[in-house]
Amino acid sequence: MIALIIGMLVSLIVTLVGTPLLIRLVHKLHYGQYIRQDGPQSHLVKRGTPTLGGVVINFAIVLGWGASALYRYLRSGDVP
């Protein structure tokens, strides 16, 4: 149970800290969503919007799983 909580907390913290950092980096690198000129005019306001949120979430999930597995291994010596 504690391993599950540790995994969730690590994932939450990585997501909360990593998302704003990635957004700033993506804005600095001018990497954003490309909007076609022949599309609806209302979509032009989305130009430059960063679209890499899933990267941070997936990284956080893997890191949380790793922290949980490490805790279980150190606690019981059992390999996950």
The per-residue pLDDT for range 18-77, each reduced to its tens digit, is: 999 988 888 888 777 766 777 777 766 766 677 776 889 999 999 999 999 999 889 886
Looking at the structure of the chain, the number of domains it has is: 1
Is 80 a residue whose pLDDT tops 60?
no
CB-count exposure of residue 22 (10 Å: 0-12, 13-18, 19+): middle
pTM: 0.72
Which residue range(s) make up the domain with 52?
A: 2-37+44-76
d(CA 56, CA 54): 5
Q: Tell me, what's the pLDDT at 30?
A: 77
